[in-house]
Structures are given as C-alpha cells and as structure tokens.
Amino acid sequence: MLLRHTPKEIKERSALVINPAKTCQPVGAMYAALGIHACMPHSHGSQGCCSYHRSALTRHYKEPAMATTSSFTEGSSVFGGQANLIQAIDNIFTIYEPDIIAVHTTCLSETIGDDITQIGRKAKDDGKVPEGKYVIHCNTPSYVGSHVTGFANMCKGMVDYFSEKTGEKKNVFNIIPGFVEPSDMEEIKRLVSAMGIEFIMFPDTSGVLNGPLTGHFSMYPEGGVTIEQLKATGDSTGTLALGDTASSLAAKTLDTKFKVPCEILDLPIGLSATDAFIDTLRKVAGVPVPDSITYERGQMVDLISDMHQYFYGKKVALFGDPDQLVSLTRFLLDLDMKPVHIVTGTPGKKFEKTIQDLTADLPYTVNVKESGDMFLLHQWIKNEPVDLLIGNTYGKYIARDEDIPFLRHGFPILDRVGHSYFPTVGYKGGIRLLEKILDLLLDRIDRDAKEESFELVL
C-alpha cells in the first residue's frame, strides 16, 4: 500500500503506532542463536510465531533459518506449555541431534508465565537432555523491546549458561559484534586477525547464513561460535561490545560475574567509528596497527576527499536499529552531509541523547525519536524534504511517494541481495557505503540534468 494519504500535519500520538520501525524480540533471539555452532533455535509458543520469525530471517538472508516450536494449542495457552516444551526437547535431540537447543519465549508463553529455567531443569532430570548436550534460554516477549533487544537477551543467555572462570587468565578478547550481517562479522574478524589479536566472537553467523551452495544440505553449517569458546569467555582478558543496545548487556554480565572488563563501542560503520574500534584494539591488546589497515583507511579518506562536493550539504533521513543509526549519523557528519530526521522503533531514551550530543553543534535542529514509527518519519519528510533516505526495505514506499533516492541498510532487506556477502563495517565496508550513496546521488543528478548539463565525466 502506498502512503500518499499521509497527512503533513503532525499530531501527538501516545497509544497508536503506524508502520513500526522494528520487528519483535524473538526474531533477534533466533538470529543470535543461529550464531552458535550446531544450535537449534526453539520458539516456545505457537507455530504461527515460529513461522513468522523463520520467514523474516529467511527472506532477508535468502537462506533457510532452521528453528523448531513448542506448537501451542488452546490447551497449552490456558494451562501452560511445560509438557509441550519437554516433549519438544526430547523430539529435537532425538531427530535433529543438535548440541544446543536455544529457547526463546513469545508473547503467549510470557503472558502465561512459563518458567523456562524450571522446565529445562525438569527435562534434564527426566533424561530428555543427552549427556554433553545443552538447553539454554532467554525471555523475549514481543510486546516489549524489539529484535535488537531480543538479540541482546540471547547473547546474555550465552554468558549465563556457558561462561566459566577457571582462574587461568588467557590473552584472548571477546568480541560481541552486535546485530549486523554475517558479512560484517566476517569483516570484523578479518580486521582483528590482521592486528594479530586472539579473540572469541559470539554470536557468529558468518558461514551460517551466507555460506556457499555446495549441492549438499547441512543442518548445522561449519560456522558459529563453539561451546568450548563460549565457556572460555570467562577467562578472557577483556570484552569489546559493538553497539550499546545489542551488545552491552552480555558484556556487562561477563564483567559482573567474572571480572572480564568491557569496552562499549559504536558499531564500526564509517570513518570515525572504525577509527575508534581500531584504536581501542590497539590500546587494549598493546599491538601496532598494521600497514594493511592504514592503507585501507587511506583509500577511504581518498574517496571522501575526491567526492566531497557531491556529499556536502545533502539532507538525509534515517530509520532502523539504534546502534546502526548512531554510527551512520556520525558517518554522515564526517561527510558533511546533514542528517535531519532520525527514527528508531527500539525503545531507549539513551538513543535520543546520543544523537542529540552528536548533532549538538549543528546550525539546525535534528528531529530524533526513539519508539518512533515510519508514519512520523514520513510526516517529517513532508515538512522538510530530504535528498536521501536510509533504512530497511519498508522505506521504499516513502521513497516512491516522495521521489527520494533510497539506500537500503539494516534489517530486514527483502527486495535486494548482497547484504549478507558485502560488509558495511570497517574501512572496506565504509568504501562500499560511500559507493552506494554516491551512485544514488549521481544517478539523481543524471536523471534531472538538462541536455546541456548531461556530463560524461565527473
């Protein structure tokens, strides 16, 4: 449905969300669970819930997102889902043979009040969990938070269930990558490896949701963080959490339980945020930055310098996940572009303050809203038009209605491919973002150019 009837006049809404800029917690929890090797995500609720969560991930990654469900019926909805979950655990280990079942809850099981910890303990006592196998869980009611907080809760579940402290400190760093693409996780690992740093990344969906087509089906691809690695996180020297909303909860839990100090950084998207990431790695690990990374940074700076006149002063509207929006806003400011409208559907007052601090010195007021929706974003754009829109696939309707160049970024992207293979983090990822932004801006210049101004070269 196109949005041509969106009114320009903005009225305060306190109990109505129109076109939300988020999806629900279990989607993020399922994605995080797929980043554990040989793990079967399990949705404790109805079949319909699980089908939606799997569908959302499958359509975005163009890969099958394997998951199971407790298949609630009317009886389960009234009397609780303990029997369903215990039977499911038995069936899953018997038929699919995972090493781990990662349970996340849904609205239904949360409203009933199922005690997943107790149910998991009973399943183990009843002999439904084979020796050397595990059942972990996190609570993810869909009526609070978003897919980003669901991801964060499952990451914390990994720490709660697996992290151990043997007393033997290891010169290894934990990296919590945030809710990013498998390609981004690959790029983060490449950069950390290039600096000669030993690390454990969790979760890690690279090789799981962006693997090759081999002609052979594998229920559990080679990728993903292993149980042994998760257990070892309690002995690590430190933790780098990328993205406050998605990664800080697990990092702070490791600090609280095992005294593993943590650094909370922005996602390394763009020049400044990647600089901060590389510099932090250099400091905490006590290693030099290799020439190869400095070279990549120089390439990015060169491209910004060469094309600066096309970036300068362009107005941008953004929507999506808070961690990504913070880094993207910083990147746009590095390019002398003007972020003017910023909306996230994920709740959290800290987001608005962060954006306000980033943009405090600008000579104009930036519209920013947490727990906002795309209806409000559309109204803002009607009142102050922009030159570029950045967000997930659902922004295409606003882009079409208002005739705005549109850069797809974030989750979900349903109508394009490449995001799971090409990173947007790091210097290499930043160069790709620059290329995509430039293509859109220059295509618009060509489209609107008069005959005498239709240039062959820049």
The answer to whether position 69 is within a domain reads yes
Question: Do 206 and 128 share a structural domain?
Answer: no
Residue 307, domain CATH = 3.40.50.1980
Q: Within 10 Å of residue 457's Cβ, how many Cβ atoms?
A: 3
Tell whether pTM > 0.75.
Answer: yes
The answer to whether position 218 is within a domain reads yes
Contacts of 426 (CB under 8 A, 6+ apart): 187, 188, 190, 191, 268, 274, 296
Question: Do 188 and 122 share a structural domain?
Answer: no
Question: Do 200 and 155 share a structural domain?
Answer: no
CA distance 67 to 108: 18
* pLDDT tens digits along 192-251: 999 999 999 999 999 999 999 999 999 999 999 999 999 999 999 999 999 999 999 999
* pLDDT tens digits along 46-82: 999 999 999 999 999 999 999 999 999 887 777 788 9
Average pLDDT over residues 385-401: 97
pLDDT recorded at residue 76: 77
* Domain boundary, last residue among 128, 161, 194: 161
pLDDT beyond 70 at 1: no
**Residue owning tokens 């559309």:** 378
Question: Do 344 and 273 share a structural domain?
Answer: no
Question: Do 403 and 352 share a structural domain?
Answer: yes
The answer to whether position 93 is within a domain reads yes
* Domain boundary, last residue among 272, 290, 308: 290
Question: Do 296 and 281 share a structural domain?
Answer: no
Residue-number span of the structural domain to which 352 is assigned: 292-451
The answer to whether position 389 is within a domain reads yes
Question: Do 156 and 36 share a structural domain?
Answer: yes
* pLDDT tens digits along 326-380: 999 999 999 999 999 999 999 998 999 999 999 999 999 999 999 999 999 999 9
Cis amide leading into 203 (omega within 30) = yes
Q: How many domains does the chain have?
A: 3
* Domain boundary, last residue among 135, 161, 187: 161
pLDDT recorded at residue 2: 55
Question: Do 325 and 248 share a structural domain?
Answer: no
The answer to whether position 13 is within a domain reads no
Question: Do 417 and 303 share a structural domain?
Answer: yes
Question: Do 257 and 365 share a structural domain?
Answer: no
Question: By C-alpha distance, which of 208, 349, 348, 184 is closest to 274?
Answer: 184
The answer to whether position 456 is within a domain reads no
The answer to whether position 458 is within a domain reads no
Higher confidence at residue 115 or residue 73?
115
The answer to whether position 14 is within a domain reads no
pLDDT beyond 90 at 20: yes
pLDDT beyond 70 at 182: yes
CA 408 to each of CA 137, 159, 238, 393, 399: distance values in angstroms, whole numbers, following the listed order? 32, 33, 34, 6, 11
Question: Do 440 and 305 share a structural domain?
Answer: yes
pLDDT recorded at residue 349: 86
Percent of the chain surpassing pLDDT 70? 99
Question: Do 135 and 111 share a structural domain?
Answer: yes
